[in-house]
Amino acid sequence: MKRWMKNRSKKAGMPPGSLIHIGDITTEKARITVLRYSESEANLEEISSLAECHILKEGPEITWIHIDGVHDTKILEELGNCYNIHPLTLEDILNTDQRPKMEDYGRYIFIVLKALHEKAHPELIGSQQISIIMGKDLVISIFEREETFLKPVRERILSGKGRIRNFGADYLAYIIMDCVVDQYFSIMETVGESTEDMEESLMTNPAPDTLHNLQHLKQEMIFLRKNVWPLREMLSAIERSESDIIAESTVIYFKDVYDHTIQIIDTIESLRDVLSGMLDIYLSSVSNRMNEVMKTLTIIATIFMPLTFIVGVYGMNFKNMPELELSWGYYSVLALMFFISIAMLLFFRRKKWL
């Protein structure tokens, strides 16, 4: 249950906008990096506090403030005071079980989405909340934990490769979102491979463990759907947005992320259908195996019914039973029993019951 909904009891009775962290603490200390760039130059530095944020506001460059770790409410409070961020936005950043969404506050656009990553058992897929504040010349990204998939983006900005320096802050926000969505394809490949392996196991040797793994994979698909489906609505809202922060030339890039999201959603729905069909196949396989066992036992019992009758008759040991005195009687009864067994087996095979 903790995976689906974080513990909100600590916020009970608190006023709106209260800065209380809800979620797991994944880093000992929050890490803040600031990347400022223009078409001609770029500079990356790591800072320990946002108290002197007025320094970051100076100059025409685009500023990218990246924070790894959201449990430090002091940093979020400094961030809010520096850039006049609404308290409800800061509250949503600290509540790490938010649904992916987009909110337009006029001066900035607040975006929430989920980054997915592979995990060991019991869960196959883990997630972390990504919060993005997009201003005219400012992008603030807040991650629950440090991720490496943004490292190539920083390197491209610092080296001047690509087109990031030639575009505004909205294009940088698109790049971050695109990196997050690209991780989904890797996750879907892992889930697809697990589904194929399970399907092969299901067809060759369905076992109780197979049912357990199948149910676990279905739960993972529900978790995936919960985190990806709202992204479609959020990207659609960005496309329809009339905010001056998002340039018209950048909208087409957000549409590309939207297309990728639709492709991932289609894959999720297809895999869900496959898993539902696999559950039916498992139940049918178990039922067929049980029917085969029952058929075998029934045939064996049917063959032994006349044999038991013969044995029962000659086991009564009456004195006037003439066959008891015959020297070849015992062998005759054995031959009769053998003949009956063979005849019944041939009859069952002719009827295709065997």
Same domain flag for 253 and 326 = no
Which pLDDT tens digit goes with each residue over 300-350? 888 888 888 888 887 777 777 777 777 788 888 888 888 888 888 888 888
Which pLDDT tens digit goes with each residue over 156-178? 999 988 889 989 999 999 999 99
Q: Of 284, 310, 325, at which residue does a domain stop?
A: 284
Structure tokens at 96: 């790490």
Q: How far is the C-alpha of 143 from the C-alpha of 117, rounded, in Å?
A: 13
pLDDT at 92 over 80: yes
pLDDT at 128 over 50: yes
* Beta-bridge partners for 36: 43, 63
Q: How far is the C-alpha of 56 from the C-alpha of 34, rounded, in Å?
A: 9
Q: Does residue 121 lie in a domain region? A: yes
Helices 87-94/73-83 angle, 10° precision: 150
Which pLDDT tens digit goes with each residue over 6-27? 555 555 556 665 667 676 666 6
Q: Does residue 150 lie in a domain region? A: yes
Element (H, E) at 183: helix 169-204
Model's pTM, two decimal places? 0.76
Q: Does residue 116 lie in a domain region? A: yes
Instruction: Please report the pLDDT score of residue 77 as a whole number.
Output: 86
pLDDT at 2 over 70: no
Q: Of 262, 284, 306, at which residue does a domain stop?
A: 284
Same domain flag for 155 and 302 = no
pLDDT at 90 over 80: yes
Same domain flag for 159 and 14 = yes
Instruction: Please report the pLDDT score of residue 15 as a whole number.
Output: 61
Same domain flag for 280 and 298 = no
Q: Does residue 289 lie in a domain region? A: no
Q: Does residue 171 lie in a domain region? A: yes
Q: How far is the C-alpha of 28 from the C-alpha of 8, rounded, in Å?
A: 22
Same domain flag for 298 and 198 = no
Region 94-118 average pLDDT: 89
Same domain flag for 302 and 280 = no
Instruction: Please report the pLDDT score of residue 272 as a whole number.
Output: 87
DSSP 86: -
Same domain flag for 310 and 277 = no
For the chain, give the percent of residues with pLDDT over 70: 89
Which pLDDT tens digit goes with each residue over 38-82? 888 888 988 887 766 655 655 678 999 999 888 778 888 888 888
The CATH code of the domain that includes 104 is 3.30.460.20
Same domain flag for 279 and 303 = no
Same domain flag for 95 and 218 = yes
Cβ distance 341 to 306 under 8 Å? no
Q: Does residue 223 lie in a domain region? A: yes
**Domain hosting residue 336, numbered range:** 294-350
The CATH code of the domain that includes 337 is 1.20.58.340
Confidence label for 1 from pLDDT (cuts 50, 70 and 90):
very low
The residues, ordered by sequence, that sit 6+ positions from 144 with a Cβ below 8 Å of its Cβ are 23, 24, 26, 27, 69, 70, 96, 128, 129
Can you point out the beta strands (E) in the chain?
A: 31-37, 42-47, 62-68, 101-104, 109-118, 125-134, 138-143
Q: Which residues of 153-172 are buried (b: 16+ CB within 10 A; e: fewer)?
A: bbebbeeeeeebbebbbbbb
**Nearest alpha carbon to residue 332 among 352, 312, 314:** 314
Same domain flag for 346 and 245 = no
Instruction: Please report the pLDDT score of residue 13 as a whole number.
Output: 52
Same domain flag for 138 and 35 = yes
Q: Does residue 3 lie in a domain region? A: no
Instruction: Please report the pLDDT score of residue 286 as a whole number.
Output: 76
Greater model confidence, 265 or 203: 265
What domain count does the chain have?
2
Same domain flag for 100 and 210 = yes
Which pLDDT tens digit goes with each residue over 263-303? 999 999 998 888 888 878 777 777 877 888 888 888 888 88
Cβ distance 102 to 236 under 8 Å? no
Q: Of 237, 255, 284, at which residue does a domain stop?
A: 284
Q: Does residue 2 lie in a domain region? A: no
SS3 content of the chain, % helix, strand, coil (to 5): 55, 15, 30
Cβ distance 109 to 103 under 8 Å? yes
Instruction: Please report the pLDDT score of residue 285 as a whole number.
Output: 76
Instruction: Please report the pLDDT score of residue 50 as a whole number.
Output: 75
